[in-house]
């Protein structure tokens, strides 16, 4: 016999969970009782939003579930923004939370942390959200979660357990052998039809999204066989090497890539929503794709007003089967026209890049990155420009949760990534505005006692919003904000602050920080011309 909370830890451990994120509270003590016995480490953030973002970064870089143990009510709601981000980007996250005692559920008598219908509140942001009252229910729910993560978009799951139930003595349920639910399978004839269409297309293009995040090698192979340029989305930056001549990178908003898509006689869109967000950098109108084959594990996926049938399949499974059918190497027959088409598209955004006022800074940032770096980026000017233009080192991983667009995720996501990949250098990039949303997690990063670099771009406030005001000819309001003494603040939280005032200094500071065994915060003073100009 064991306490219910211990049994939860045992069930999770049997699924390979070895890390949870959360702040212990009087309502979750029983969840923490069984951690050590089951080989699970608790990472304690300074705010539950940080716990959610850490779980997100952990999941993106490990391919495993990011798990949070949270107190009901304020704890869960504090994490809701991070949960919504994980829902938006299809990140596997599990939230296990206490609820009020069984006798108080739904009565709203003002008991500690009582919150109306918390499971219902989270339902729109989760794959499923439920309260349970037996360990068998919990075990079955976890099995369901992992099955559905394999066969659907791997979105967050919420499981609530009443406070009194967590303390009950229970027996672990016996584990019956189960057969995992099969992945959606494309009919053989349909696969052969798709392969034939692609192999005979004169100007095919592949658009690869976040659904391909674990299929980079397969994607590169299929693109090679089809001689097809590959356009990446916000959630797939870094999926292909920037040295691959077919890689057009994250360049949808630029004229050359839009022309590439318009000229394509067949577009293969894999694991992407084809979101209008991809055009936000230039404000251009989304391209209407003339002939498209969509592949998505979500059968309801659709785009604009096009009634394009979606092939319901896992991206990696589809690419593997497609590769097997593409026995010829069309590139030799097409004289490598795909490489030429990709190069023409790249020229439009590389030209924009070299004339960009941030060019020297982004290049300095790139030169300072280790080859195997993990980089988590926030909503900040330096990060935006690097995301849109910068070529990544060959072994780097790029974490860019820009679709949901919240402020503050970079630092806690970097903490989660550092835990998931302890041998790799990790870097977070934020602004003087966005960093303040989660700056307290510097203390959590210090607790790790390992290398981690945080770059803070200091430009006097919300420079991107100032530019947005200017574009629509509205006098900027509320964009020039007071900033703390970042040197004193970061040092006070236990980090080593380094001040930078030139691109060359940034490169050198990044290299030194990558070799340091502790947390370094690089404070970059933006030059005149890249700073806030408003007085409000």
Record the pTM. Answer: 0.93
pLDDT at position 500: 97
Q: For residue 445, how far is the Cα from the chain centroid?
A: 19
**Distances 192 to 60, 202, 206, 445, 502 between C-alpha atoms, Å:** 33, 18, 18, 50, 56
The string of pLDDT tens digits covering residues 92-150 is 999 999 998 877 777 777 777 778 889 999 999 999 999 999 999 999 999 999 999 99
Residues 361, 344, single domain; the answer is no
The neighbouring-strand residues paired with 157 are: 94, 128
φ, ψ for residue 397 (rounded to 5)? -120, 135
Q: Domain end: 352, 371, 391, which one? A: 352
Residues 344, 402, single domain; the answer is no
pLDDT at position 304: 46
Residues 224, 332, single domain; the answer is yes
> CB-based contacts of 54: which residues, under 8 Å, 6+ apart?
21, 43, 45, 66, 412, 413, 415, 416, 419, 441, 444
DSSP secondary structure, 156-176, as one string: -EEEEEEHHHHTSEEPPPP--
The string of pLDDT tens digits covering residues 180-216 is 777 777 888 889 999 999 999 999 999 999 999 889 9
Residues 200, 248, single domain; the answer is yes
Indicate whether 530 belongs to any domain. Answer: no
Q: List average pLDDT for each run of 10 residues in the chain, which is 536 residues long.
A: 96 97 95 96 98 98 97 95 96 95 75 83 97 96 95 96 94 76 81 92 94 92 95 90 90 86 93 74 66 87 59 92 79 69 89 87 96 95 90 89 90 98 97 96 96 96 86 89 93 97 97 96 93 74
Indicate whether 534 belongs to any domain. Answer: no
Identify the three-state secondary structure at position 428.
strand
3-state secondary structure 211-280: HHCCCHHHHHHHHHHHCCCEEECHHHCCCCCCCCCCEEECCCCCHHHHHHHHHCCEEEEECCCCCHHHHC
In whole angstroms, what is the distance from residue 296 CA to residue 259 CA? 24
**CATH number for the domain including 347?**
3.40.50.1220
Q: How many domains does the chain have?
A: 3
DSSP secondary structure, 285-348, as one string: PPPPPSSEEEEESSTT--BTTB-PPEEE--HHHHHHHHHHH--S-HHHHHTTHHHHHHHHHHHH
Indicate whether 487 belongs to any domain. Answer: yes
Neighbours of 295 (CB within 10 A): 26
Indicate whether 68 belongs to any domain. Answer: yes
Residues 162, 212, single domain; the answer is no
pLDDT at position 278: 66
Contact 458, 524 (CB under 8 A): yes
Q: Domain end: 295, 326, 352, which one? A: 352
Pairing status of strand 247-249 against strand 397-399: unpaired
> CB-based contacts of 93: which residues, under 8 Å, 6+ apart?
52, 55, 56, 59, 65, 66, 67, 68, 83, 86, 155, 156, 157
In whole angstroms, what is the distance from residue 449 CA to residue 426 CA? 13
Q: Assign residue 158 a region (left: φ > 0; alpha: ψ between -120 and 50; beta: otherwise).
A: beta
**CATH number for the domain including 57?**
3.40.50.970
In whole angstroms, what is the distance from residue 64 CA to residue 15 CA? 10
Residues 112, 209, single domain; the answer is no
State the residue for tokens 């630029």: 254
Q: Domain end: 352, 369, 398, which one? A: 352
Residues 11, 123, single domain; the answer is yes
Residues 364, 419, single domain; the answer is yes
End-to-end CA distance of the chain: 63
pLDDT at position 305: 46
Indicate whether 8 belongs to any domain. Answer: yes
Residues 34, 161, single domain; the answer is yes
pLDDT at position 158: 98
What length is written for the chain? Answer: 536
In whole angstroms, what is the distance from residue 404 CA to residue 445 CA? 24
Neighbours of 305 (CB within 10 A): 6
In whole angstroms, what is the distance from residue 214 CA to residue 223 CA? 16
Residues 330, 459, single domain; the answer is no
pLDDT at position 101: 80
Residues 347, 445, single domain; the answer is no
Neighbours of 264 (CB within 10 A): 25
In whole angstroms, what is the distance from residue 71 CA to residue 24 CA? 8
The two structure tokens encoding residue 9: 């830890």
- Residue 107 domain boundaries: 2-170
């Amino acid at each position: 016999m064991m306490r219910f909370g211990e049994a939860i830890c045992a069930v999770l451990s049997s699924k390979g969970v070895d890390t949870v994120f959360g702040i212990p509270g009087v309502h979750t003590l029983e969840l923490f009782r069984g951690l050590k016995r089951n080989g699970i480490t608790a990472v304690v953030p300074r705010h539950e939003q940080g716990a959610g973002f850490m779980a997100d970064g952990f999941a993106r870089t490990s391919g495993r579930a990011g798990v949070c143990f949270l107190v009901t009510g304020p704890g869960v709601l504090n994490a809701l923004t991070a949960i919504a981000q994980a829902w938006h980007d299809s990140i596997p996250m599990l939230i296990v939370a206490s609820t009020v005692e069984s006798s108080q559920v739904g009565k709203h008598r003002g008991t500690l942390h009582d919150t109306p219908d918390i499971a219902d509140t989270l339902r729109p942001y989760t794959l499923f959200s439920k309260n349970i009252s037996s360990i068998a229910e919990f075990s079955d729910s976890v099995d369901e979660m992992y099955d559905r993560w394999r066969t659907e978009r791997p979105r967050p799951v919420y499981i609530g357990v009443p406070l009194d139930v967590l303390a009950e003595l229970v027996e672990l349920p016996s584990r019956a052998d189960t057969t995992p639910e099969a992945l959606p399978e494309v009919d053989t004839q349909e696969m052969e039809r798709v392969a034939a269409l692609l192999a005979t297309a004169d100007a095919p293009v592949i658009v690869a999204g976040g659904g391909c995040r674990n299929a980079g090698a397969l994607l590169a192979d299929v693109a090679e066989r089809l001689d097809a340029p590959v356009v990446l989305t916000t959630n797939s930056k870094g999926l292909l090497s920037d040295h691959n001549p077919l890689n057009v990178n994250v360049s949808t908003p630029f004229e050359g890539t839009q022309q590439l898509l318009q000229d394509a006689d067949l577009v293969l869109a894999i694991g992407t929503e084809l979101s209008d967000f991809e055009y936000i950098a230039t404000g251009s109108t989304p391209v209407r794709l003339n002939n498209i084959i969509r592949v998505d594990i979500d059968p309801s996926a659709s785009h604009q007003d096009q009634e394009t049938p979606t092939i319901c399949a896992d991206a990696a499974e589809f690419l593997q089967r497609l590769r097997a059918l593409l026995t010829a190497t069309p590139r030799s027959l097409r004289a490598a026209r795909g490489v030429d088409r990709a190069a023409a598209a790249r020229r439009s955004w590389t030209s924009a890049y070299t004339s960009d006022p941030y060019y020297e800074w982004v290049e300095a940032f790139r030169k300072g990155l280790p080859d195997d770096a993990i980089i988590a980026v926030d909503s900040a000017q330096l990060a935006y420009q690097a995301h849109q233009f910068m070529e990544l080192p060959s072994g780097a991983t790029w974490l860019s949760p820009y679709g949901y667009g919240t402020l503050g995720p970079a630092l806690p996501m970097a903490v989660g990534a550092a835990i998931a990949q302890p041998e790799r250098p990790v870097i977070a990039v934020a602004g003087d505005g966005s960093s303040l949303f989660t700056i307290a997690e510097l203390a959590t990063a210090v607790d790790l006692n390992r290398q981690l670099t945080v770059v803070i771009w200091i430009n006097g406030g919300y420079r991107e919003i100032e530019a947005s005001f200017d574009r629509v000819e509205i006098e900027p309001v509320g964009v020039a904000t007071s900033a703390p003494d970042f040197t004193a603040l970061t040092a006070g939280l236990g980090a080593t602050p380094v001040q930078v005032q030139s691109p060359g200094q940034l490169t050198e500071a990044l290299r030194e920080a990558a070799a340091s065994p502790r947390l370094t915060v690089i404070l970059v003073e933006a030059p005149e011309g890249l700073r806030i100009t408003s007085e409000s």
